[in-house]
Structure 1
Amino acid sequence: MPRRETTRHERARREMTGSEQAAAAFDDLHTRHAAALMRQTYLLTGRPWLARRAVQQGFRRAWQHWPQVAVDPDPAGWVRAAAYEYALTPWHRLCPGLRTARKPKRFHETGEPADRALLAALLRLPAPYRRALLLHDGVGLGLYETAAEIEASTPAAAGRLTHARERLAERLPELGLDGHPPVRQGEILRDRLTALTAAQQVTPTAAERVRSDAERSDLRTTRAAVGLAGGFALVAVVMMLVTPDHYTPPPDRPLATAPHAVVPRTGHRGAEVRKQGNAAVRKRLREARLAPDVR
C-alpha cells in the first residue's frame, strides 16, 4: 500500500510541467521560511510593516531569479540576504514614513519588559553589528557563514560580533554576559533571541500573491524596456528623415586680399631717401641727449 501511494505521487509529480514544479518548490520554500524570516527582520528593523515588506521583496526577487535560487545550496539563505539588504537600505531613512526605527514603537502588550529592553538595546546597535549578531547568535550561522553573508572578512565579522556583545552587556547587565567565554555568551543570546522572535505574531503574504506580484513587476520592466527602445528607434528614424542624404557645400565667397604693399624704389634716389631718413633719426637722438630734462 505505501508503495502504491508513492507510485501515485511520483506519477502525479511527473505529470506536472516545469513551471508547475518551480511554483510548487517556491511555495514550499515560502511556507517553511517566510514566518521565521519576518520575525528575524523585525528584530533587525523594529518595524513590523517593514519586516513584512522586506521578506515579501526577498521572496519576490527569489521568484524572479528562481533558476539561480533553485540550484543554490541554501535557498533560504539567499532569500534572507535579499530581505536583510532591503530592510537595511539607506533610502528608508530619507522619508519619515520609511525610517528604520531606533526604538521599538510597536510591541505586543503581552511582551515582557525584559524582551522590550532587549529589543531596544538591539535597535541601538549599528546596523552592521546588529546584523552580524542576529545571524550568528539568532539564526545560528557559523562565523565563516556569517562573514560570507555580510560580505566581510572573518576577522571583521568576529570584531563586529564581539563589539555587539560588549555593548549589550553594558546596556543590559541582567543578561549575564560578563564573565563568560564567547561560546557561553552566544548560547545566552541565542536563547533570549529565540524567545523574543517566538513572541511575534506574524502573517506572511501568500506565496501565490508573491509570485503574481513578481511576474507583474517583470512584465512592467519588460514593457518599460520595450517602450524605451521604441522611443530611441523613433528618434533615430526622425533624425534620418530630417537630415539630408547628401552633402551640400557652402556658397562660394570672394577671398579677402591683402592691400598692395608699397615697395620702396631701388636705385640712387632710393638710397638718398634712406640716407636722409637715417640722418634725421640720428639728429633726433642727439637732441634728446642734450635736452635738460633728460640730463
Structure 2
Amino acid sequence: MRIANLNGRAVLTDADTRLALDIERASDGRFGADPGAVYERWSEFAQWARQQDAASHRDAVPVVPADLGPVVPRPPQILAVGLNYADHAEESNMTLPEHPMVFTKFASSLAGPDVDVELSGDTVDWEIELVAVVGVGGRDIPAERAWDHVAGLTVGQDLSDRTVQFQSTPPQFNLGKSLRRFAPVGPAVVTVDELRAGGLDPDDLALRCTLIEVDGTERVLQQSRTAQLIFSIPDLVARLSASVELLPGDLIFTGTPSGVGFGRTPREYLVAGQTVVSEIDGLGSIRQRFVVKEATA
C-alpha cells in the first residue's frame, strides 16, 4: 500500500507513483480527503486500502510529480535524530551518541517531493534520510512491537542552513533545519508489508543522494544502507515513546549517513541551479531544485 498527497487530497498510488486513486471518492466518503486523517483511523483504513488496486482501478488518474504535496501535511510532531550513522558522526568530528540526539523540524518547513527550494544563504547542506510515519500512537512501546505502530516509510531531505544552525552557543538545530521547504518528503508512504512483499527488508534499505550540477553532470553525494543506523526504527520508536507520546501521523526523520557538505574538506554547499535527487529502495525518489532567494520589498 502506498499513500500520497495529490493536490491536497489523500490518494493511493501504484508502485511507480504514476497513477493515483482518490481515497474519499473510492471509499464513498468512508474516509475523508485530508491526507493526514487516514493515520487517525489507521487500522480501519489499512484494512480497507489493502483491498484496493490503484494500478488497475477504473477511476485512477495520472500523477504529475509537481502536484504531490508532503505525505503528511500537518503532522502532530516531527521528531528528528542527529548523528545516527557512525560515519556521519565521524565526519562531523562528534562523539558517537549513547542515546538518540533528538531535535525537531517545524511543520512549516514541509514540502512535497518535487519542488524548487530557495537558498537562504551560502551554507545550505543536504542530508538524505529515511522517514518513518506513525500509524498507531502510544507511550512506552516495546521495540519488538514497534513496527506494528509504524504506518510506513518515506524519503526525506533534512536540508540545513549551517550558518543558522551554528550561530548560537551551544548550537541549536531547529531553526536552521526549518526554513521554507527544508523538509521535503515523499513521494508516498509505503507500508512495511508492501516492502516485504517486494522482497525488501524495512530494516535494511539502500539509500543514495545524487547532485545534478548546473551543467547536467551527476555526482553521488551519499550512499549507504539503513542497516547502518546506530538506533534502528524499532529502537527509536521504543526510546522516543518512553519520553513522549507518539501520535498518529507523526514523522520521524531517522538521520543521515556520511557525505554531507559540512563534513567535506573543503566544505561544500548548495548553489543555485543545482538539483538534489534522493532515493531509497522500494520508496522511490524525491527531487529539489535550488534557486536564488527572491528579494523582499
TM-score normalized by structure 2? 0.25
More strand by share: 2
TM-score normalized by structure 1? 0.25
More helix by share: 1
Higher normalized contact order (CA 8 Å, seq sep 6+, divided by chain length): 2
Computing the radius of gyration over CA atoms, which structure comes out larger, 1 or 2? 1
